[in-house]
Amino acid sequence: MRRRSGRTDRRRRRTPDRKPGVRPCPHHVRLADRQELREIGREWAHRIDIRTAKTDDQPADALLIRPDGHIAWAATIGEPADTAAPTLCEALSHWFGAAAVA
């Protein structure tokens, strides 16, 4: 598997490397300015970490990454919200159960 380096909103890291002491929690990584996907991810914030990343080689607009480094879901570059949002909800529900009740 090819490793990607990039910058997150917290620190530089490589996938799938994990730092000691980091909770084993999948990350929804927002690579593009997709506020509607970030809002959906916040409904599962009690179970996932949401990060922003910048890379020269953007693989997708947004990713849901499992702790083992595998991609559980991805929004293709420029994918419309009407297809990306429902599939993100489906993936989050599959992996983490129902969203938090407000």
CATH code for the domain in which residue 39 is found: 3.40.30.120
Residue of 59 and 88 predicted with greater confidence: 88
In a domain, 5, yes or no: no
In a domain, 48, yes or no: yes
Q: How far apart are CA 62 and CA 65, in angstroms?
A: 10
In a domain, 101, yes or no: no
How many domains does the chain fold into? 1
Q: Find the domain containing 43 and state its range.
A: 24-96
Percent of the chain at pLDDT above 90? 33
In a domain, 13, yes or no: no
Label each residue of the chain as H, E or C.
CCCEEEEECCCEEEECCCCCCCCCCCEEEECCCCHHHHHHHHCCCCCCEEEEEECCCCCCCEEEECCCCCEEEEECCCCCHHHHHHHHHHHHHHHHCCCCCC
The predicted model scores a pTM of: 0.70
